Amino acid sequence: MKKQKSSLPPAGLPAGANLINFSPAKRLAARFGTCSKTIFRWADRGFFGRYKINQRVVLFDIAEVLAYVQSTRVN
């Protein structure tokens, strides 16, 4: 019997969330030229949220991280 796909996001993500908009720390770190530990430090300091999907998976909203990085830009 095939398991039907649910339209709901995995537990831990906000309702209406699309997984395309979320990324693990490792991918975000590569995108912004930092290490994944830095992404977790920023989240610990409250600059943006994190979404714990299960014991091993933590995702970050790409838009939130991008907004934070852009807000720290020096002109």
Domain that holds residue 29: 19-71
- Structural domains in the chain (count): 1
Which residue did the predictor score with more confidence, 30 or 2?
A: 30
Could you tell me if residue 26 is inside a domain?
yes
- In the block, tokens 């209406």 appear at 16
Instruction: Report pLDDT digits (tens) over 35-59.
Output: 999 999 999 999 999 999 889 999 9
Could you tell me if residue 46 is inside a domain?
yes
Could you tell me if residue 37 is inside a domain?
yes
pTM: 0.72
Q: Is the pLDDT of residue 6 over 60?
A: no
Could you tell me if residue 3 is inside a domain?
no
Confidence of residue 74 (pLDDT cuts 50, 70, 90): confident
Instruction: Please state the length of the chain.
Output: 75
Instruction: Report pLDDT digits (tens) over 8-33.
Output: 555 666 666 666 789 999 999 999 89
Phi-psi region of 12 (alpha: psi -120 to 50; beta: other; left: phi over 0): left
Could you tell me if residue 5 is inside a domain?
no
Confidence of residue 75 (pLDDT cuts 50, 70, 90): confident
- DSSP string for 1-66: -PPPPPSSPPTTSPTT--GGGEEEHHHHHHHHTS-HHHHHHHHHTTSS--EE-SSS-EEEEHHHHH
